[in-house]
A and B are shown apart, each in its own frame.
Chain A
Amino acid sequence: MSNRQDSGGRSGLDRRRFLTTAALGGATIVGASALGGLDADAAFAAPGPSLDPAITASTFAEGRITARNGSVLEVAGSYGDRHLIQLTNATSVWKLRTTTADAIEVGDGLYARGVDMPDGTIAADALWVNIVNLFCTVRGIAKDRLHLAHGDGNHAVVGRIVPETTTASYLGGSLTPDLSRLRIGQSAQVLGAWRPADDSVDIARVTVGH
């Protein structure tokens, strides 16, 4: 379970109970139709047009966080550009899992999607902190980590398996916590969060068999 409401203790539980009642009272819609999401995968999707006709385009920013002043993040982009990213109480934060703004640290890398404000800041709808998307080969399997080789130079990457969080998808199937079907030599797409401290990757999702 994610924890934005957990911090509230009992009042958080009451709020969840209230929201559950509200959710179950809503309109039921059946059917499926593909549309781009706003979750971890979407960090790598091309920035789509804004959904709100009053706003012409949503903005996409990336870079390393150099400073944090309250709810404003100063971000140095990879191409020498600078961004000021304003967090709001509706901003969703992903850092391996859905989390709160407290998990953001100076030095982290981020992708942000948001709306340009008149004062030059970007009001962020969604942030993905330290997210990486690697196409690699499984070179070794251990109890709590995968050894991966990434790219042309066969860069060695250690992918850590995080209990309760790491999931796998086999042959386009749905996500499952069952990792035991991974094999050495398989090509894998790894979505995860980079750990600057020891240069490893915490794995959120391994996709194999595509």
Chain B
Amino acid sequence: MILDLAPLVCGVLLAATGAAKLFGRRTAQVAANTVLVRVLGNGHRAAFALRAVGAVELAAAAGLLAAPGAVLPGAATALLGAGFTGYLGYAKATAPQSSCGCSARDEGPIGVRSFLRAGAVLAGGAAAAFAGTAWWTRLARDPGWSLLVVAAAAAVLLALSTDLDRVWMPLRRLRLRVFGTPLPAGPGGRVPVEASVELLERSLAWQASSPIVRSGLLDSWDDGGWRVLRYAGVHRDAGGARPVNVLFALDDSATTDANPSPAVRVSVVDDRTQEVVPLDLLELSGLRKPLRMV
């Protein structure tokens, strides 16, 4: 029965995707994001190729629907499915970010569903090639089971399509409302290092040490209620330029919410001699603002 109904399912699927590719207004736009552009040289040729594939799909669909007993349309469809699989494999290997252009509507990276769709076309074509009875005869003979099979096939194909993702959004939202969010709630207590970095980068200490600091964050650790952040820098004085570590220490529980301007301790340590470099950072940076030194 599945063999006999395969031409119907495959034919409708190919007719839909083929028509979308051949007549779709967005075909050129979709083609521009596929790997075809790189293979064929430019976007016009890629769009033409995509439309040509659409025409072939329509022809195969017509063959499947009109002459379900013949081997040729089924074989052609299986060949098409094999071609799609090969194309997807090539695109995935060479340009994983490109869109597959499979149904000419959705865009997005090539994923498992694209491969499953191509595999379904391949399997459906192979099944159609071995169909013994025409699908309308089978449909007339036992309509109940046939409709069940067609409905199941349609459900599988819809699940493989990304066009329906929008429909599932309210379902997903409902699931989260009923079962709660699966995402971790805050363990409380520990402040992420990035939050301390954010705080530091808004501080006057950061501005004052800006002539010295050269790198992004190199290392950080917590010690006795302090969070120490280590940066690399270059200190230039009469003896020439030398590499230094710039160390900032701030309260490890401070965040911009709780304490937007915590005290920050700054030290500059020579990278080679491990000696603390005595520096007046505020003098060095040219910040003339009156400051409260603690």
Residues of A within 8 A of B (CB): 1-5, 16-20, 22-40, 42, 51-52, 54, 89-92, 94, 98, 125-126, 139-143, 153-157, 161, 163, 167, 173-180, 182-185, 196, 199, 204-205
In the complex, A62→B276 CA distance in Å? Answer: 36
CB of A184 within 8 A of CB of B185, answer: no
6 A–B contacts, CB within 8 A, in A order: A16-B219, A20-B228, A29-B264, A90-B215, A141-B182, A179-B184
| B245 A180 Cβ-Cβ under 8 A | no
Q: Which listed residue, B191, B199, B215, touches A91 by the CB 8 Å rule? A: B215
Which residue of chain A has its CB nearest to the CB of B258?
A174
Q: Please report the C-alpha to C-alpha distance between residue A37 and residue B213 in the assembled complex, in whole angstroms.
A: 10
Q: Which residues of B contact A16 (CB under 8 A)?
A: 219, 221, 223, 228
Q: Is B152 an interface residue (CB 8 A)?
A: no
How many angstroms between the C-alpha atoms of A3 and B245 in the bound complex? 16
Partner of A143, one of B97, B162, B182: B182
Q: Is the interface of B mostly helix, strand, loop or mixed?
A: mixed
Bound CA span A201–B238, Å: 47
Is the C-beta of B202 less than 8 angstroms from some C-beta in chain A?
Answer: yes
Choose one: A52, A94, A125, A153; the contact of B107 (CB below 8 Å).
A153
Those 10 A-B pairs whose CB atoms lie nearest each other, nearest first: A178-B186, A26-B267, A90-B232, A92-B216, A37-B201, A23-B247, A92-B215, A174-B255, A32-B261, A31-B204
Is the Cβ of A26 less than 8 Å from the Cβ of B186?
no
Q: Are B107 and A98 in contact (CB under 8 A)?
A: no
A-facing mask of B190-221, CB < 8 A → 1, else 0? 11111101110111111110110111111111
The verdict on B38 contacting chain A, using a C-beta distance below 8 Å, is no
Question: Do the beta carbons of A30 and B294 come within 8 Å of each other?
Answer: yes
- Cβ of B232 to closest chain A Cβ, rounded Å: 3
B215 touches A29 (CB 8 A): no
B59 CB within 8 Å of chain A: no
Q: How far does the alpha carbon of A92 sit from the alpha carbon of B96 in the complex, in Å? A: 29
Q: Tally of A-B residue pairs with Cβ under 8 A?
A: 248
- In the complex, what residue of chain A is closest to B269 when comparing beta carbons? A22
The answer to whether B228 and A23 touch across the interface, beta carbons within 8 angstroms, is yes
Best-buried of A52, A92, A154, A205 by chain B (most CB within 10 Å):
A92
Question: In the bound complex, what is the Cα–Cα distance between A27 and B173 (angstroms)?
Answer: 51
Across the interface, do B292 and A31 meet the contact criterion of CB distance under 8 Å?
A: yes
B contacts with A, residue count (CB < 8 A): 88
Kindly provide the distance from the CB of B257 to the nearest chain A CB, expressed in whole angstroms: 5
Q: State the CA gap A22–B216 with chains docked (Å).
A: 20
By the criterion CB–CB under 8 Å, are B202 and A33 in contact? yes
| Cα–Cα distance between A136 and B220 once the two chains are bound (Å) | 31
Which residues of chain B are near A18, meaning CB under 8 Å? 274
**Which of B99, B181, B211 is packed against the most chain A CB atoms within 10 Å?**
B181
Does B237 reach chain A (CB closer than 8 Å)? no
Q: Which residues does chain B contribute within 8 Å of A196, judged by CB atoms?
A: 96
The distance in angstroms between the C-alpha atoms of A179 and B192, with both chains bound, is 13
Question: Do residues A31 and B185 form an inter-chain contact, with CB atoms below 8 A?
Answer: no
Docked-complex contact B265 and A24, CB < 8 angstroms: yes
Q: How far is the CB of B259 from chain A (nearest CB, A)?
A: 10
**A153 contacts B33, C-beta separation under 8 Å:** yes
Asked if B239 is at the interface (CB within 8 A of a chain A CB), the reply is no
With contacts A4-B218, A35-B207 taken as known, whether A175 is within 8 angstroms of B255 at the C-beta atoms is yes
In-complex Cβ contact of B266 among A19, A29, A94 (8 A) = A29
Using Cβ atoms and an 8 Å threshold, which residues of chain B touch A2? 193, 217-220
Chain B residues closer than 8 Å to A89, beta-carbon distance: 232, 243
| CB of B150, distance to nearest CB on chain A (Å) | 28
Q: For the complex formed, measure the closest distance between the CB of B176 and the CB atoms of chain A, giving whole angstroms.
A: 6
What's the Cα separation between A184 and B211 when bound, in Å?
44
B184 and chain A: residue at smallest CB distance:
A179
A112 CB to closest chain B CB, in angstroms?
A: 11
Contacts of B204 in A (CB 8 A): 29-33
| A174 B257 Cβ-Cβ under 8 A | yes
Q: Which residues of B contact A31 (CB under 8 A)?
A: 203-204, 261, 291-292
Check if B220 sits within 8 Å of A176, measured CB to CB. no
Residue among A22, A140, A143 with the highest chain B CB neighbour number at 10 A: A22
Report yes or no: A28 in contact with B263, Cβ–Cβ below 8 A. yes
